[in-house]
Copies of this chain bind each other. A is one copy, B any other.
């Protein structure tokens, strides 16, 4: 009995020392550690601002290339409201989207936005999918355990 108590105390002390070290030496801090084999993330885009769109697409790529997540991350991009600009054939994002598509990203569009704005689906890229509502997608994915990122 005494032996186990001692071992337990030793482990607790090690944990304590580790914690103190982490807090006093920020230079050695390298962020969270990815311990799982698979991660799902839903990226949100609801703006037509070029800087915001380019930033979101670049952020998705950065996450896919993060050494902690590389080869383990699946991304879905959910677009609603003004964000629909990113899927317009007349826009400037085709190549970036295709590069992300090649990395397994699923491109989803809110059907409400398309209907409310009377957008012709033929004006949008053929490789996108439609979900009933972007907001419903955000809520359900969180309940499924997905991470959500809205840069």
Measuring CB to CB, which residues of chain A are less than 8 angstroms from any residue of chain B? 23, 26-34, 36, 39, 41, 46, 55, 59-60, 62-63, 65-69, 73, 80-81, 104, 106-108, 110, 112, 126-145, 147-151
Contact = CB atoms under 8 A, between A and B. Distances in A.
A147 to B, nearest CB: 4
A127 B65 CA distance: 26
Given A67-B132, A150-B150, 4 more contacts: A26-B127, A30-B131, A59-B81, A68-B136
A63 to B, nearest CB: 4
A103 B106 CA distance: 32
Contacts of A23: 104, 106
The interface residues of chain A, by DSSP majority, are classed as mixed
B133 A32 contact: no
A133 B30 CA distance: 10
Contact of A149 (B110, B138, B143): B138
Nearest to A41: B139
Contacts of A55: 46, 81
A61 to B, nearest CB: 9
Q: Which of A28, A62, A108, A136 has the most CB of B within 10 A?
A: A136
B68 A135 contact: no
B65 A133 contact: yes
